[in-house]
Chain A
Amino acid sequence: MSEAILRTAGLSKRFGSRWAVKDLNLEVNAGDVFGFLGPNGAGKSTTIRMILTLLLPTSGSVRIFGKDAREERRSVLSRVCGIVEKPDFYLYLSAYKNLEVLGSLTRKVKREEILEALEIVGLIARADDKVKTFSHGMKQRLGIAQAILTKPDLVILDEPTSGLDPQGMKEVRELVLKLSKEHGTTIFLSSHLLTEVEAVANRMAVLNHGELIAQGPVSDLLGGDSSYYSILVSPQEGALELLKKNPWVEVVSVGNGIEVRIESRRAAELNKLLVTGGLDVSSFAAKRSLEDYFLKVTEGASEV
């Protein structure tokens, strides 16, 4: 079993009478790409701010590398970095200078390290341009560059694909996987997109209204139960007739396509059934919105 390098115990934060985060117990293991999933306003950023000592918890504790994050702040934060909410920089400084200033707060950074970080995120050609000329996507990438600059053991990324175009999102996902696989960096990634977490994470936790509603391996949380699939098939009438003959398929709705609910492990079987039945299947896609997922996990057990 992997060693837990980030652990929160009973972590809570109250603003006035409102609990932003309540009794949160997270466990992130070394080498994990840990997805921290929740809708906007669920308390993800508040949790990250408490982990990174920006907010004082109302109660509970954060331990990173076995040390209390507040009491041994310096030693803990020398091995952690990240982005908290949107990446903000000194607009009047160049990308290079921003990294130099931020990186040197952790340790002495060499010119080659700064250039390497800029190279990784694809901003090497804009190294000497002032950040005020950067688009949101470029700032987002620069945010990742500053997070990985000092080669921390734990990188915390708060909604790193927010505001990026599909190509930018893909690049960030690839970067996360590369950091994890090639550098062994543990990644804590918050997102409100289930597909994003599913694409990169091996473990995940789901937060809603400040409370943990599920935590465990992504395969267990997403793969074990029944799921919704959207099928584009022709002729549709023939398909509906075939589906009715199979009681393990629940037809949920019929429109341009057919939406069904089946056990996830039987998806390939259903696809094969339709094709061997002489039907033209032009699309067979899992339909996993965060809302659907919440409905599913709140119906069932609260923790895996």
Chain B
Amino acid sequence: MSLFSIEVKKTFRRWRTYIGFVVVAGAVILLEVIIKLNEARMAQNFSHGMSGDFLISGSMLNAWVITAFIMNSLYIHVPFLVALVAGDMVSSEATSGTLRFILIRPPSRSKIFTAKFFAMLFYTALLILFMGTLCIGIGLAFFGGGDLIRFQTSMPHIVILPAHDAAMSTVLAFIAAILSMSVVGSLAFLFSTLVDNSIGPIIGSIAVVIISFVIGSLPFEFLESLRPYLFTTYMGIWQLLLNSPVDWGEVGKYALALLGYDAVFFAIACFVFVRKDIKS
């Protein structure tokens, strides 16, 4: 058994790991059922703002539109679900005492740490892909396909992706969302190596995410200079992939920034972990 598979096995043997999947499934199913039950009214509200400029026939609601809408929860509860597992990966072993049992074995601390980190990334990826599969699957079953029409605050205010591009763009958006959420996971993982309890890293990382979002969205000039340094600035990478045309230069810039944060958080955490005295 490789170190990675051991860590994945341990992660998925814990009920805590499945909280995220249950919450995501509950939220997606609930939202899609509510939208389905109120489809006519919601379609009317949705198209209301465009009726002056566009001739609309049939319902604008389809799997891609609803999936793009639900993806906004990537800013709300998904970071918490990622932190719930990532923030617990090292600290829970320190608390339970199992850390000292694995660290007296031959593999180096850096290898054990890296295996844990990749197990965390694996969980994050699986959670986002699960969310994507559920959103698209239920969306297609309830509403069918069609053009992806969405509103955004920046220009152009209305984005229309033809049906044949919408599927690929949505899949790419979910893949980008994995990268986006991996930074939250890396941050929680870093905090998890610093303390011997699980609550601190989870709350701490979510607090940092919220504060960064707040700083990034407050309309004050003196905060402008901070925005390029906030990882939350780049967490909307998935939205860039739902534009038409896609600005790939911008996507690349966001992806590099997110990978950079992943690397920095990993490096700091690994540095701490390799040198720390195991007293628990």
Q: Which residues of A contact B (CB under 8 A)?
A: 49, 52-56, 73-75, 77-78, 80-82, 84-93, 97, 100-102, 104-106, 108, 146
Report whether A106 and B97 are in contact in the complex, using a CB–CB cutoff of 8 Å.
Answer: no
Report the count of interface residues on B (CB-CB < 8 A). 24
9 closest A-B pairs by beta carbon, nearest first, are A88-B97, A105-B105, A54-B278, A52-B104, A104-B1, A78-B106, A77-B106, A74-B106, A55-B277
Report whether A106 and B105 are in contact in the complex, using a CB–CB cutoff of 8 Å.
Answer: yes
Which residues in A have their C-beta under 8 angstroms from that of B103? 53-54
Cα(A106)–Cα(B106), bound, Å:
6
CB pairs A–B below 8 angstroms (29 shown)? A49-B100, A49-B278, A53-B103, A54-B103, A54-B277, A73-B106, A73-B108, A74-B106, A74-B107, A74-B108, A80-B104, A81-B104, A81-B105, A85-B100, A88-B96, A88-B97, A88-B101, A89-B98, A90-B96, A90-B98, A92-B13, A93-B10, A101-B6, A101-B10, A105-B3, A105-B6, A106-B105, A106-B106, A108-B1
Cα(A108)–Cα(B277), bound, Å:
28
Tell me which of B3, B14, B98, B101 has the highest count of chain A C-beta atoms within 10 A of its own C-beta: B101
Does B102 lie at the interface of the complex (its beta carbon under 8 Å from any beta carbon of A)? yes
Cα(A49)–Cα(B104), bound, Å:
9
Which residues in A have their C-beta under 8 angstroms from that of B102? 102, 105
The secondary structure that dominates the A interface is loop
Nearest-Cβ distance from residue A146 to partner chain B, whole angstroms: 7
**In the complex, what residue of chain A is closest to B3 when comparing beta carbons?**
A105
A-B interface pairs (CB < 8 A), number: 76
Report whether A84 and B13 are in contact in the complex, using a CB–CB cutoff of 8 Å.
Answer: no
Cα(A101)–Cα(B96), bound, Å:
16
Cα(A117)–Cα(B172), bound, Å:
50
Chain B positions 248 through 280: 1 when the CB is less than 8 Å from some CB of chain A, otherwise 0? 000000000000000000000000000101110
Does B9 lie at the interface of the complex (its beta carbon under 8 Å from any beta carbon of A)? yes
Report whether B104 and A77 are in contact in the complex, using a CB–CB cutoff of 8 Å.
Answer: yes
Chain B positions 79 through 112: 1 when the CB is less than 8 Å from some CB of chain A, otherwise 0? 0000000000000000011101111111110000
Which residues in A have their C-beta under 8 angstroms from that of B96? 88, 90-91
Which residues in A have their C-beta under 8 angstroms from that of B14? 92
Which residues in B have their C-beta under 8 angstroms from that of A108? 1
Cα(A246)–Cα(B107), bound, Å:
64
Cα(A103)–Cα(B108), bound, Å:
15
Nearest-Cβ distance from residue B45 to partner chain A, whole angstroms: 47
The secondary structure that dominates the B interface is loop
**In the complex, what residue of chain B is closest to A52 when comparing beta carbons?**
B104
Report whether A55 and B1 are in contact in the complex, using a CB–CB cutoff of 8 Å.
Answer: no
Which residues in B have their C-beta under 8 angstroms from that of A85? 97, 100
Report whether B104 and A84 are in contact in the complex, using a CB–CB cutoff of 8 Å.
Answer: yes
**In the complex, what residue of chain A is closest to B102 when comparing beta carbons?**
A105
Nearest-Cβ distance from residue A243 to partner chain B, whole angstroms: 52
Which residues in B have their C-beta under 8 angstroms from that of A52? 104
Cα(A101)–Cα(B6), bound, Å:
7
Which residues in B have their C-beta under 8 angstroms from that of A53? 103-104
**In the complex, what residue of chain B is closest to A93 when comparing beta carbons?**
B13
Which residues in B have their C-beta under 8 angstroms from that of A101? 1, 6, 9-10
Which residues in A have their C-beta under 8 angstroms from that of B9? 101
Report whether A104 and B6 are in contact in the complex, using a CB–CB cutoff of 8 Å.
Answer: yes
Report whether B13 and A77 are in contact in the complex, using a CB–CB cutoff of 8 Å.
Answer: no
Report whether A54 and B1 are in contact in the complex, using a CB–CB cutoff of 8 Å.
Answer: no
Report whether B105 and A84 are in contact in the complex, using a CB–CB cutoff of 8 Å.
Answer: no
Cα(A102)–Cα(B100), bound, Å:
11
Report whether A90 and B97 are in contact in the complex, using a CB–CB cutoff of 8 Å.
Answer: no
Cα(A188)–Cα(B151), bound, Å:
70
**In the complex, what residue of chain B is closest to A54 when comparing beta carbons?**
B278
Which residues in B have their C-beta under 8 angstroms from that of A88? 96-98, 100-101
Chain B positions 105 through 121: 1 when the CB is less than 8 Å from some CB of chain A, otherwise 0? 11110000000000000
Nearest-Cβ distance from residue A268 to partner chain B, whole angstroms: 45
Nearest-Cβ distance from residue A19 to partner chain B, whole angstroms: 15
Apart from the given pairs A49-B279, A88-B100, A105-B102, 8 other A-B contacts in the complex at a CB distance below 8 Å: A49-B100, A53-B103, A55-B279, A77-B106, A81-B104, A84-B101, A102-B101, A105-B6
Nearest-Cβ distance from residue B100 to partner chain A, whole angstroms: 5
Nearest-Cβ distance from residue A86 to partner chain B, whole angstroms: 7
